[in-house]
Amino acid sequence: MPPRHLADLSADERRVAVTELGEKPFRAKQLAHHYFGRLTADVESMTDIPAASRARLAEKLLPPLLTPVRHLDTDKGATRKTLWRAHDGTLLESVLMRYPDRATVCISSQAGCGMACPFCATGQGGLQRNLSTAEIVDQVRSAAAMMRDGEIPGGPGRLSNVVFMGMGEPLANYRRVIDAVHRICDPVPNGLGLSQRSVTVSTVGLVPAIRKLTEEGLQVTLAVSLHTPDDELRDTLVPVNNRWKVSEVLQAARGYAERTGRRVSIEYALIRDVNDQPWRADLLGRKLHQHLGQYAHVNLIPLNPTPGSEWDASPKPVEREFVRRVREAGVPCTVRDTRGQEIAAACGQLAAEG
């Protein structure tokens, strides 16, 4: 794991850490204001802190975490994918997408992923390690700074949304992800000040972790990567289904929806001749209606094929028919726009290339 960083700590823990370094407790708030409020980790710019203290505090609480290896821009610059290198050489990625009405960053929670979904580039490499809370938060801070500084065409703007849909299974890195949500959403200077409702945490369906999340008292959107409504196919498409079946996952999701009043986003990567049949659309609609009622929303993701892979996206007419059938069952269904296709946006592909 990386060295301890300011963003790993709660406000109380930051005060203790600063005091242990022989500094006055209020320095914790100053540091937090620079990092979360001014979005900077550059200690030299923190001129309200005496130079001697700055060096000490920087060394112990602001170690460099993520270095950009390269940026890849597409969609006329409105989408920027960043490949990061962590202190130990681990590679991870995040994608910032600017839309007319919002700006969303898709972040990684793990380097690699242990869930082994066969259609996913990240899954093929296995799990390297969990990311620390600060490594997760720092992806968001960087995106917020890029928006504020007008690095994405359209002038200076504000980062509005965060989705945990980059590399990794967020709920397999549970504590650090929850702590990161607090740092992302707590008001400045304790956090970056985004609204919890603008944060989406995705999962392949780790049922005990969904139940735990239900008890956290958060308002984040839960996204369940279902990918098929039947256990037979899901056992191979999303291998964790061998532990927790479709109905158990949907029941846990319903518990979350009822507690929070939030709709659950059902993610479905549409794969040609694998999970795109009309009968599967009907079954999906029926099951979601039965288990989630008005709390379900289906988000179809046209698969972005990895070079050399046997998995391909469904033809558009098949996609349209799938949408129609799900909607006919009374379940809202939309197709996600595929930002970043030209920059190898299939999950994990960029980091896998190194």
Residue 190 counted as an annotated binding residue: no
**C-alpha to C-alpha distance for 34 and 58, rounded to whole angstroms:** 12
Q: How many CB atoms lie within 10 A of CB 218?
A: 21
The CA-atom distances, in angstroms, between 327 and each of 71, 246, 285, 289, 295 are 38, 20, 7, 10, 14
Sites of contact with ligand SF4 (CB under 6 A): 113, 115-117, 120, 122-123, 167-169, 204, 347
Residue 185 counted as an annotated binding residue: no
Inter-residue contact 90 to 129 (CB < 8 Å): yes
Q: Is 23 a catalytic site residue?
A: no
Q: Work out whether the CA dihedral 250, 253, 259, 263 comes out positive or negative.
A: negative
Q: How far is the CB of 232 from ligand SF4 (least distance, A)?
A: 18
Q: How far is the CB of 7 from ligand SF4 (least distance, A)?
A: 23
Which of 49, 83 has the CB closer to ligand SF4? 83
The CA-atom distances, in angstroms, between 1 and each of 31, 133, 267, 297, 351 are 22, 10, 30, 36, 18
Q: How far is the CB of 203 from ligand SF4 (least distance, A)?
A: 8
Given the residues 13, 44, 93, 258, select the one marked as catalytic: 93
> Residue of minimal CB distance from ligand SF4?
123
Given the residues 106, 185, 333, 347, select the one marked as catalytic: 347
Residue 113 counted as an annotated binding residue: yes
Q: How far is the CB of 167 from ligand SF4 (least distance, A)?
A: 6
Q: How far is the CB of 177 from ligand SF4 (least distance, A)?
A: 13
Which of 53, 122 has the CB closer to ligand SF4? 122
Residue 333 counted as an annotated binding residue: no
**C-alpha to C-alpha distance for 164 and 166, rounded to whole angstroms:** 6
Q: How far is the CB of 130 from ligand SF4 (least distance, A)?
A: 13
Residue 132 counted as an annotated binding residue: no
Select from 131, 134, 107, 109 the least CA-distant residue to 14. 134
Q: How many CB atoms lie within 10 A of CB 202?
A: 21
Q: Is 347 a catalytic site residue?
A: yes
Which of 30, 130 has the CB closer to ligand SF4? 130
Residue 160 counted as an annotated binding residue: no
Residue 130 counted as an annotated binding residue: no
Sequence ranges of the binding site: 113, 117, 120, 168-169, 202, 225-227, 304
Sequence ranges of the binding site for [4Fe-4S] cluster: 113, 117, 120
Sequence ranges of the binding site for S-adenosyl-L-methionine: 168-169, 202, 225-227, 304
Q: Which residues are catalytically annotated? A: 93, 347
